[in-house]
Structure 1
Amino acid sequence: MPFLNGKESAEHSKSYLTKSLKKDIPDDFIPTELSVVSVGDSLTQGVGASDDQEGYIPYLSAYLETNRGIKEATFTNYGVRGNRTSDLLNRLQDEQIKRDIEQADAVVITIGGNDIMKVVKEKFTNLTMADFLEASVTYEERIEKILKTIRKYNQEAEIYYIGLYNPFGKWMSAFSELDIIMDDWNEIGMEVTKSDSNAYFIRIDDIFAASDENLLYQEDYFHPNDRGYELIAARIYEEMKEKTVDSMYAVGQRNGVANNEEVDE
């Protein structure tokens, strides 16, 4: 065994400790940042939330940051009240939105409610199921284009498309058929997302239909209130925890193994 002087011994010990520490540090000890882009309509903008909060976003951010592997969940909000699928398609051509999507780990979409409301407003005095069926064909085409555009900008990000709900079901029986329409349109959204192996449809209609709580904004009884947004965020998180957070942790583990192997060489 070669003799080490004091300086050499100290350097050897330092090197040994560095290698040992790198091996022993868990992969989530140094958390990563998660970048999420939210696009869509008033549900993304946060209409109905108090104190100018951004709807589901602060709740979802808090849920995500409870994970040890997430240092910070950063959201960029591109929600615009009143937007329909046609509006979102146009806005996706914006260079800033494009750049942010390119750098995102995940993209969350809320869109479609105003497409339905457009039919309601235009045909209010003589609404038929055929009117919604005709509009649903265009809706499906645009949802497909929205997903393909986002995927063109970013090949790896998870895409989460939030489903539609019927805000009128509990207090306006004249709109009871909207439950059937919402189901049909949600089925369309679900089928479209299946065409992308990294896109996921998240239903929220049951949250509003089954709850005894008041989940709607009292100024319009259309948009969610704070509690409604909190429950939407919890539902989104259930999906993101499995699809985005856990997959990022798995990548971190693989990178950690690779780094340790480099140290050993």
Structure 2
Amino acid sequence: MFRKIAAAVSAAILSVSLASCSMTEKSVTEVVNNTEVPPKMLFLGDSIAAGYGLEGYTADDNYHCRSYSNILREKYNEELRGKCGHTMVNKAVSGATSSDLIGQIQSGQLDSDLADCDAVVISIGGNDLLGIMLDLFNSMGISESGSFNKDNFDFFSAASMFLSINSDVDKALDQFELNIKTIAEELDRRTEGTVYIQTLYDPLEYYSKFKRVTDFSNEKIGRLNEIITENSACGYKVIDIAADFEGKAGSLTNIADLDIHPNAKGHEVIAEDVDAAFRATGFTYTTTVYGDRQLSSEGRIAIGGIIAAIAFLAVVGAALLVRKKKE
């Protein structure tokens, strides 16, 4: 009897030894880490965000020019190296209006990027105004991309035309206000990341001698920026690019060459503004920390069983010894 019990216990100990890996486990802890910049950021909107006009930019490639998104990508790749890493996605489309952006979001093509991004940065609105003016502008040498042909452009005619389409522009601004709310709502359904919308700078301030033109653009672009700011309660933060470009259109845009887009220096300023907005917000990322190997619940049960068996064997053995002495 004693030998049979001893053999059973020995077999149990051997099986435990063979299954030792399954009987132990490492403790796993999820640690939340703070970072000033987003591990993943997504850029949406128009030609400003796409980097139109910069060296290396093409209509189907937003990643090989020194736009503000690419400046920040380079900066954050270095800053987050060895930590969580960094990802930048730029789905901005040159010429896009706020209605186009709504369509892009609602199409679902951005869903995967929105689902796991930490920050969404949007430049939108300029083309909502330009769209109304395109037919008039084309006859004056202005292309749909927003660049100008200086040989054909007549600022005095432009001043008169701006005033004649005042009502149409106001209707466009009313629609933009509805669209900005829709954009915020659509993004809120698709991302837990922080959404930022940039204000629009006024490149036509450069032509201060043409007061009708500058007054018109100042009023209409000013109203667009008010709409962006006043509706931020819909769920986004405002990055006030316009404030840092004010009075500097000549040095931060290509307007001196009759192109309304930011130049390389302008993109550096926008990058600084976006970076400051990110750092004012703060972000987090999660890492998994593994502790020392320890017994699993199955292991504790198995070892407990062996201890009980050994104790039982000791009791039986003692009883047999007592019995043997009596005999």
TM-score calculated relative to the size of structure 1? 0.74
Superposition deviation, residue 37 in structure 1: 1.1
Match of 2:228 among 174, 184, 189: 189
Unpaired runs of at least 5, structure 1: 1-18
Judge conservation of contact 2:105–2:186 (CA < 8 Å) in 1.
Answer: yes
> The residue matched to 1:91 in structure 2 has which SS?
helix
Superposition deviation, residue 216 in structure 1: 1.5
Q: Tell me whether 1:150 sits opposite 2:187 in the alignment.
A: yes
Superposition deviation, residue 103 in structure 1: 1.4
Superposition deviation, residue 95 in structure 1: 2.9
**2:67 match:** 55
**2:47 match:** 42
**1:138 match:** 175
| 1:174-215 Cα distance to aligned partner (Å, 9 max, x none) | 42121122121111111212222xx20111112222338621
Superposition deviation, residue 220 in structure 1: 4.1
> The residue matched to 1:39 in structure 2 has which SS?
strand
> The residue matched to 2:128 in structure 1 has which SS?
helix
How high is the sequence identity, in percent, across the aligned residues?
Answer: 23
**2:116 match:** 103
| Aligned equivalents of 1:97, 1:111: Cα separation in 2 | 16
Judge conservation of contact 1:32–1:71 (CA < 8 Å) in 2.
Answer: no
| Aligned equivalents of 2:34, 2:200: Cα separation in 1 | 35
**2:101 match:** 88
Q: Tell me whether 1:204 sits opposite 2:241 in the alignment.
A: yes
> The residue matched to 2:251 in structure 1 has which SS?
coil
**2:311 match:** none
**1:5 match:** none
Question: What amino acid maps onto 1:105 in structure 2?
Answer: D
> The residue matched to 1:165 in structure 2 has which SS?
coil
| Aligned equivalents of 1:140, 1:212: Cα separation in 2 | 25
1:64-75 correspondence to structure 2 within 5 Å: 64-65=76-77, 67=79, 71-75=84-88
Judge conservation of contact 1:48–1:226 (CA < 8 Å) in 2.
Answer: no
| 1:97-134 Cα distance to aligned partner (Å, 9 max, x none) | 12111111111111100111123346762435443322
Question: What amino acid maps onto 2:73 in structure 1?
Answer: S
Please tell me the root mean square deviation across aligned C-alpha atoms, in Å. Answer: 3.4
| Aligned equivalents of 2:190, 2:78: Cα separation in 1 | 29
Question: What amino acid maps onto 2:189 in structure 1?
Answer: K
Superposition deviation, residue 54 in structure 1: 5.5
Superposition deviation, residue 247 in structure 1: 3.3
1:10-25 correspondence to structure 2 within 5 Å: none
Judge conservation of contact 2:205–2:247 (CA < 8 Å) in 1.
Answer: no
> The residue matched to 1:132 in structure 2 has which SS?
helix
Distance 1:33 1:234, change over 3 A: closer
Question: Which shows bigger deviation, 210-219 or 179-188?
Answer: 210-219
Runs of 4+ in 1 over 6 A off after TM superposition: none
> The residue matched to 1:115 in structure 2 has which SS?
helix
**2:263 match:** 225
Question: What amino acid maps onto 2:242 in structure 1?
Answer: D
Q: Tell me whether 1:236 sits opposite 2:241 in the alignment.
A: no
**1:11 match:** none
Superposition deviation, residue 35 in structure 1: 1.0
Superposition deviation, residue 44 in structure 1: 1.4
Superposition deviation, residue 239 in structure 1: 0.6
Count residues in correspondence.
230
Judge conservation of contact 1:33–1:71 (CA < 8 Å) in 2.
Answer: no
> The residue matched to 2:40 in structure 1 has which SS?
strand
Question: Which shows bigger deviation, 59-68 or 32-41?
Answer: 59-68
| Aligned equivalents of 2:226, 2:37: Cα separation in 1 | 35
Larger Rg: 2
Judge conservation of contact 2:117–2:193 (CA < 8 Å) in 1.
Answer: yes
| Aligned equivalents of 2:51, 2:265: Cα separation in 1 | 12
| Aligned equivalents of 1:210, 1:128: Cα separation in 2 | 26
Judge conservation of contact 2:66–2:264 (CA < 8 Å) in 1.
Answer: no
Question: Which shows bigger deviation, 45-54 or 121-130?
Answer: 121-130
Superposition deviation, residue 46 in structure 1: 0.6
Unpaired runs of at least 5, structure 2: 1-26, 58-64, 137-157, 295-327
Judge conservation of contact 1:101–1:153 (CA < 8 Å) in 2.
Answer: yes
